[in-house]
Amino acid sequence: MTGAIVIQGGYDVAGDIHVSGSKNAGLALMAATVLACGNSTLQGVPPVSDIHNMARNLQYLGASIKRLDGNLHIDTTRLISLHVPDRLAGRLRASILLLGPLVARYGYAKLSLPGGCTIGDRPIEEHVRGLEALGARVKLTNDYLEAHATQLHGTSLHLQTPSVTGTMNLIMAACLAHGTTHIHNAAREPDIVDLILCLIKMGAQIQGAGSDHLIIFGHGRPLSPYQYKVMEDRIEAGTFLILGAISGNSLTVHGCQTEYHTALITKLRAVGAIIDVSGNSVTVCKTKKPSPTDIQTGPYPGFPTDLQPQMMVLLSLAQGISEITEAVYENRFSQAVGLRAMGANIEICGQIATISGIPSLSGADVSGSDLRATASLVVAAIAARGTSFIRGVEYIDRGYHDMERKLQNVGVKITRVHGLDSTKKIEI
């Protein structure tokens, strides 16, 4: 038995939505506590299940963790284990972020291969190659990853692909290495910039934040504990901006660091959405006749792959034919199954989805298979005529804090039900 989100769709949304702290940045900042000896305080980290799972990983290693007044207090003074077992790592792909800090501070780490959303191959070769270049000996099997290092040393790295978690891991490891490390072709995502700003506050010396060439001046010793406020979640913000472009009758999203949303806002304006930017708040009004447009995902500052599923909903309602090229992951059109059940006209050939817009979607009983695909089905259900049942709510809980309340506050008729038979379809 499982649960579902039930949405009565076909109504406009209006009002104010406040974006929570970044899940992805929060996960990296939690891993960074291993680089320090003492009690760090992370402000604004959302209490979503991915954050809870990272906390369990750290607690297993021996960290003390408390949540008080919305802040996360993490004490890594005494770690008693350097091994993250399968029952913990298997729940969270971001467990891999503990690899670099553990090897850098303690000279050893063993992690069962991490889990998470099934949205295609997410290789960890960049982590392995980078740590080996820094001086670690890494053993990779089908079940686990093990690394040893007497001392890490600065080096020059060129990433074959700009891996986000790979870049994060190598930055953190290089902070405790002896000497200077250059990372070329580094990922440039805002979450990485947030991590770098926090590491600098911890005493690290890093140049090039926001660029693809990072320079880390390692001093071979632990950093200092931190007190730091995590940035807002740009993917949550983007999800709500797309919702506003579909169903918004003046929907204002607060907590948008607009300089990080250029690619999305450009595409929303291209389909005809009316957008007003005021500081870190963005107001979106839908257009009655969205225009088609083409999208290709890519590393930042390109169009985010994490917003591609939500954008597919908008393009399903455009007046004409649109094309989405998914250039980051090879298996990220799973939302198309649910959208087709709602009436969308979508054809997929390899990495390209061709969407022929229709006037409206219809409510249906659908299931999400990963975090962003499930979020896109929520957006679609709000726009659809009639009632929708969306299964896979555990994915929503991984990355969207208090989503139902936020949507209710802007007029969405949404409830969560429990105890449904996941194998039995509901007649709509």
Q: Please list the active-site residues.
A: 117
- Edge-to-edge order in the sheet of strand 71-75: 64-68, 71-75, 39-43, 227-229
Whole-angstrom Cα distance, residue 390 to residue 296?
27
| SS3 of residue 133 by DSSP | helix
Neighbours of 288 (CB within 10 A): 6
Contact 12, 247 (CB under 8 A): yes
Whole-angstrom Cα distance, residue 241 to residue 273?
10
Contact 330, 357 (CB under 8 A): no
**Run of H or E residues at 284:** strand 281-285
The DSSP call for residue 10 is: S
**Run of H or E residues at 87:** helix 86-89
| SS3 of residue 185 by DSSP | coil
Whole-angstrom Cα distance, residue 36 to residue 251?
42
Residues facing residue 244 across a β-bridge? none
Whole-angstrom Cα distance, residue 227 to residue 222?
16
| SS3 of residue 346 by DSSP | strand
The DSSP call for residue 291 is: P
Contact 245, 273 (CB under 8 A): yes
Contact 221, 176 (CB under 8 A): yes
Whole-angstrom Cα distance, residue 53 to residue 83?
15
Whole-angstrom Cα distance, residue 398 to residue 401?
8
